[in-house]
Amino acid sequence: MPIKSLLNFSAGATAASKASGRLGPLPLRVNFAWTLIGNVVYAACQWGMLSALAKLGTPEMVGQFALGLAITAPIVLFSNLALRAVQATDARRAYQFGEYLALRLATTALALMIIGGIAIWGGYRPQTAWVIVTIGLAKAFESISDVFYGLFQQHERLDRISRSLMLRGCLSLPLLALGVYFTRSAVGGAWGLAVAWALVLVMYDIPGAAWVTNAPSRFSVWRPLWSRQRLLDLAKVTLPLGFTMMLISLNTNIPRYFVQRYGGERELGFFAAMAYLMVAGTTVVNALGQSASPRLANYFARGDITSFRGLLLKLMGIGAVLGMGGVLLSLIAGREILTWLYRQEYAAFVDAFVWLTVAAGVSYIASFLGYGMTAAHYYRVQPLILICTTAASLALCYFLVPAYGILGASWAIGLSALVQAFFATGCIVHATLRVVRGTKPGGRPDLAEAFPAEAGPPVRFVPEIRVRSGGEDGDMARARTPFGTPDHGATNF
């Protein structure tokens, strides 16, 4: 859908809603278009921030910033408890928005205390410690915005989320660049980020929540409800999701911890800058996987294993082509790309850049296999695969990074993605064989036997939780969050 048509359609929907006295949801295709635009703009701004930091500062500054994100991301994602996923799917309003807000404020305060403790007693240099603390503050504002995103999503107004993301990205980029330029330090850039995210929260997200809910005043929605038992019940429900999101972030950041430990902040800066270029292919893979998931699930549900395998193999082939294209591009013009995007000194690590593109190709294939697993209704095994992948990454980094530095970290990423792909392939083979063996004489598969206990609608790599509604066992709202794809809060260079 063209952007101009999208804006006109959204404006028309908003005008119609106001005329009817209520703000209704947007059509699915409009919400999808807004989500795509918001994600693309935000990802571009994130890369712009990294490029500005690399061009205006030093590799050490990039490393400090990357370390701050790597330390704060798992803590903040765990403290978030994936409340947005639960909130957005709480169709019966089992919990009020004020309760979600209160729990988020409490867990965010706890996360900030933990981040501060790590910065103070982690043995970091004062400037690095300040970067960690300031990024932690920025991510605290981001976390509070996230609970308002859950409210927007609950009302099916994803245009508000996308606009907020675009505002955050477009405001963060100049403020971070100005902070680095005037202070000549990563601390100034981190403060620019914190100020930008605080401004978007106060000036757009909170008033937007009042707009969506038809509240009487701009800040009337800011009313946390502090019921101890209710908040404990909600935390118990969401704790498994928080743990899962923490594992996802750890799996991404383990190589960064080892590079910083054995190579210092300078080498981490080089590594983080090159690793972030994998995001471009990941965006394409996620878009294709989400689009193909319903058809994969339908093929599997009908027992049409030939079509299921054929579509999955096509997706894997696309992932392989993307990966090979990246490898070929890095071999031919890797030095020029790193010099143009960042600075000439980054081109000295072109060998590691090539291996990172190889790792990216393997991860693309593993991601498509993850979508296939979810379409085959294999949910409960997926957290176990993530634990195995994280353990493999930890072991590989332990042996490879001290000996080979950034190159070893690149190998570790690729090999851990290969471990994930291996287990995912085994699960898909097992799922398809169960369907084939469950086929009855008439040719129709016995789906009750073919499906394992894990069942539900198709989403990628997801643990399931249930939210009680009104205290009745029969009234449940399921909430799932993508496994292996952290939400917008997982900003990582």
Q: How many helices (H) and strands (E) does the chain have?
A: 16, 2
Q: Which has the higher per-residue pLDDT, 46 or 106? A: 106
> pLDDT averaged over the chain?
82
Comparison of pLDDT for 303 and 464, the residue scoring more: 303
140 exposed, middle or buried (CB, 10 Å; 0-12, 13-18, 19+)? buried
Local confidence band at 157 (pLDDT 50, 70, 90 cut-offs): confident
The SS3 call for residue 412 is helix
Angle at 309 between CA 308 and CA 312, to 5 degrees: 85
Check: pTM over 0.75? Answer yes or no: yes
Q: Is the pLDDT of residue 493 over 50?
A: yes
Q: Is 81 helix (H, G, I), strand (E, B) or coil?
A: coil
- The 10s digit of each residue's pLDDT in 301-343 is 888 889 999 999 999 999 999 999 999 999 999 999 999 989 8
Q: Going by C-beta distance under 8 Å and a sequence separation of 6 or more, which residues neighbour residue 183? A: 189
More reliable by pLDDT, 315 or 491: 315
Amino acid identity at 95 = Y
Mean pLDDT of 459-483: 38
Q: pLDDT per residue over 251-267, tens digit each?
A: 889 999 999 999 999 99
Least confident of 61-65, 143-147, 380-384, 440-444: 440-444
pLDDT tens column, 7-29: 444 444 444 444 434 466 777 67
Residue 208 has pLDDT above 50, yes or no: yes
For residue 35, CA distances in Å to 40, 323, 340 come to 9, 25, 30
pLDDT of res. 358: 95
**Angle of the 158-183 helix axis to the 28-56 helix axis, nearest 10:** 10
The answer on pLDDT for 415 being more than 50 is: yes
Total Cβ atoms within 10 A of residue 402: 13
DSSP β-bridge partners for residue 439: 445
Inform me whether the pLDDT recorded for 276 exceeds 50: yes
Instruction: List 472's β-bridge partners, or say none.
Output: 469
- Amino acid symbol at 310: G
Q: Where are the domains of the chain?
A: 26-480
Pick from 160, 133, 284: which is nearest to 221 by CA? Answer: 160
Between 48-52, 193-197, 231-235, 450-454, the lowest mean confidence (pLDDT) is in 450-454
Top-confidence range, 44-53, 170-179, 365-374 = 170-179
